[in-house]
Amino acid sequence: MLRFVVFAVVLLGVCGCANADAAPVAELTSPDGRIRVSVEAGEAGAFYRVDFRGEPLVARSRLGLMFKAVYGFDRNLEIAEVETAERDTTWEQPWGERRTVRDHHREMAVTLRATEGPKRSLIVRFRAFDDGIGFRYELGEQSGIDAVEIIDELTEFALPQDYQSWSIPARGWNRYEYLYDTGPSSDVHSAHTPITFKAPSGAHLSIHEAALVNYAGMSLIQKRPNTFKAHLAPWSDGVLVRTKAPFVTPWRTLQIGDAATDLLNSSLILNLNEPNALGDVSWVEPGKYVGIWWAMHIRDRSWGNDTIHGATTSETIRYMDFAAKYGFKGVLVEGWNIGWDGDWYNNGALFDFTRPYDDFDIAAIAAHGRKVGVRLIGHHETSGDVSNYEAQLEDALDFYATHDVAQIKTGYVADGGRIERIDDHGIRKYEWHDGQFMVDHHLRVVTEAAKRQISINPHEPVKDTGLRRTYPNWIAREGARGSEYDAWGIPPNPPEHTAILPYTRMLSGPMDYTPGIFDLRPNERPPLRADMPRNDPRSRLETTLAKQLALYVVLYSPIQMVADLPENYEARPEAFQFIVDVPTDWEESIAVAGEIGDYVAFARKERGGDDWYLGALTDEDARSLTLDLDFLDGGQNYEAQIYRDGEGAHFDTNPYPLVVETRLVRQGDALTLDLAPGGGTAIRFKAVSVLPAVAGK
Ligand code: NOJ
Ligand code: CA
């Protein structure tokens, strides 16, 4: 289905002005008419507002850009022209949470013209979808503007009253790795996006951005009560963005819905990204992987080359054999290259990305991988010394490519604002993880990797803004607190964490959360070596065993780590079967129930298969959810293989009870799930030909 209509309107005369003295207003509504955007301009500058269901959702909020050396667009503006269009298309994801995505929107390009100084103009392009809006600035080529330095983006998001909010602070030392704050919006000082709100009317809103390219990442700062302003991460010299006309900014996005689950079912961010720029990407491989990784975090092994070095040839081969036995595609190995000995957090310059330690025979490992059908997954930890990494980037990628590596996890462990860059004069500078320097850097890595058919999974990344659509080898990223905090974080991730992530961080795209920990109390075991004590026992998994399984369905990623030690899986074969079965690439995904911070349930259908899967999880409260199985394919029978919390299960006191049972179900049936405190349920709906009536006998 393709509908494409464009018409230009000379605004004055057709505006929806309330009275003759009011500023001219340009208006746009979503295809279903429920979202309305209005734009006005005048001496005070340009403003927009958003109404949902006939009520203000975002009040009158400023628009504009300011430049260092030339006139910007802050005040004395008029609407010179408005062009509108409507499009209704569908497109296909090479991998993803759904195969087919519908992009149905109305568009309005508002040309703002300065009424003072040189009469320059700036376009603000709005798109209204049924699930929200996006808008961006577009500066065309015009006389007197060439290279520009942006010193402020004036964009605001003014809430008409206090909303409930879920967010993490911005510009902190720990980047995006904070526990979520829940509370009234007026209490938020600064926030990374996505930041999510619930209005007293029940409407839901999440603010983020799409297609962050050649610009600085946007966080929000509360300027006046409930007025949030764009706060771009600056370069080390204070300039926010260095660019050149013509340019477009990233889209500022507002996902909007009645229910919390509407946010989860939205494709707005992807729809506002450009199509695949890489052509044939059949070499990008979704799938599950294991790794020499958790062993380091629980202090069984070390990254450095000492007596308990994790990244040895024999240990890698052991993991490869384990992966091959259960059908997992890759083995991540960290601590394989020169640079990990000593204080690696502060010594990124020592990392050498083409020199393995002596006990890591990468050629033999690659050969073994070819034999058993498992790949080595590469690891480039930079400790934030990006100049050191960039100097070696091409050689580092070539090196791994010759050893069959098709996916690399990168890492930028450094405090926020402490990314190291050596400038053109050889002077060390410090940058933000979400500043323009890093936005450019990540894209450089992703495009260089694509030339070698390698996919990239950055940890301590810049946030996701949907660029996986344009660069499908940007396969996942971290960018929130993952399981590693359950090994060493004080506090570990509380039960509500994974009931908030879907409605916040996960709206931006896939996360390498690294789920599937089966030994839920790893720090209570005696240390293997006296001089390597375990982490504080307060750090542990605050989930039940069943909830670890549910995470594979709830937290979408095309790559999912099977993160615990092989022996911990083989000790619990019944639970492990779900991880063996669950796919990572989907035909369709539907959030079927949920409330932010309380619970969530996702149903997903296997890509290229007939089976459906369901993951449901709760916060610290026990919960009973009755779910209609409407999502199942009509006329098909399914064996529901249910992995649920057993009698007395509790994340704190009794995390292991697990019941695995089967039932025959079909569309139209309902299932009641009893989730323990901090618990969950995971279900495989296996398509079967048997009739329920027969099977029931
Ligand atoms: C932090 C990453 O999140 C973690 O997965 C990794 O093991 C360490 N850095 C070391 O690179
Ligand atoms: Ca991390």
pLDDT of res. 2: 39
pLDDT of res. 697: 37
Q: What is the pLDDT of residues 209-246, one digit of tens each?
A: 999 999 999 999 999 999 999 999 999 999 999 999 99
Catalytic residue flag (residue 484): yes
pLDDT of res. 22: 54
pLDDT of res. 144: 86
Higher-confidence residue of 386 and 7: namely 386
Residue 661 has pLDDT above 70, yes or no: yes
Under the banding of pLDDT at 50, 70 and 90, the label for residue 64 is very high
Q: Which two tokens stand for residue 211?
A: 């297609």
Q: Does the CB atom of residue 431 touch ligand 1 within 6 A? A: no
Q: What is the pLDDT of residues 148-157, one digit of tens each?
A: 999 999 999 9
Structural domains in the chain, CATH included, are 2-271 (2.70.98.10), 287-482+508-532+550-571 (3.20.20.70), 574-697 (2.60.40.1180)
Q: Does the CB atom of residue 421 touch ligand 1 within 6 A? A: no
pLDDT of res. 143: 87
Q: Which residues surround ligand 2, an ion (CB under 5 A)?
A: 459
Residue 310 has pLDDT above 80, yes or no: yes
Q: What is the pLDDT of residues 65-92, one digit of tens each?
A: 999 999 999 999 999 999 999 999 999 9
Give the pairing type, strands 164-167 and 25-29: unpaired
Under the banding of pLDDT at 50, 70 and 90, the label for residue 691 is low
**Distance (Å) from CA 459 to ligand 1 centroid:** 7
Q: What is the pLDDT of residues 561-618, one digit of tens each?
A: 999 999 999 999 999 999 999 999 999 999 999 999 999 999 999 999 999 999 999 9
The single-letter code of the amino acid at 634 is G
Give the pairing type, strands 25-29 and 100-114: unpaired
**Distance (Å) from CA 460 to ligand 2 centroid:** 5
**Distance (Å) from CA 494 to ligand 2 centroid:** 17
How many other C-beta atoms lie within 10 A of the C-beta of residue 75? Answer: 17
Nearest-atom index, ligand 1, CA of 460: 3
**Distance (Å) from CA 565 to ligand 1 centroid:** 16
Residue 134 has pLDDT above 60, yes or no: yes
Under the banding of pLDDT at 50, 70 and 90, the label for residue 693 is low
Q: What gap in Å lies between CA 316 and CA 400, rounded to an integer?
A: 16
Q: Does the CB atom of residue 484 touch ligand 1 within 6 A? A: yes
Give the pairing type, strands 407-411 and 455-459: parallel
Q: Does the CB atom of residue 413 touch ligand 1 within 6 A? A: yes
Q: Which residue has the CA at smallest separation from atom 10 of ligand 1?
A: 381
Q: How many helices (H) and strands (E) does the chain have?
A: 13, 38
- What is the share, in percent, of the chain residues with pLDDT greater than 70? 96
Q: Does the CB atom of residue 478 touch ligand 1 within 6 A? A: yes
Q: Which two tokens stand for residue 206?
A: 């999440």
Q: What gap in Å lies between CA 499 and CA 494, rounded to an integer?
A: 10
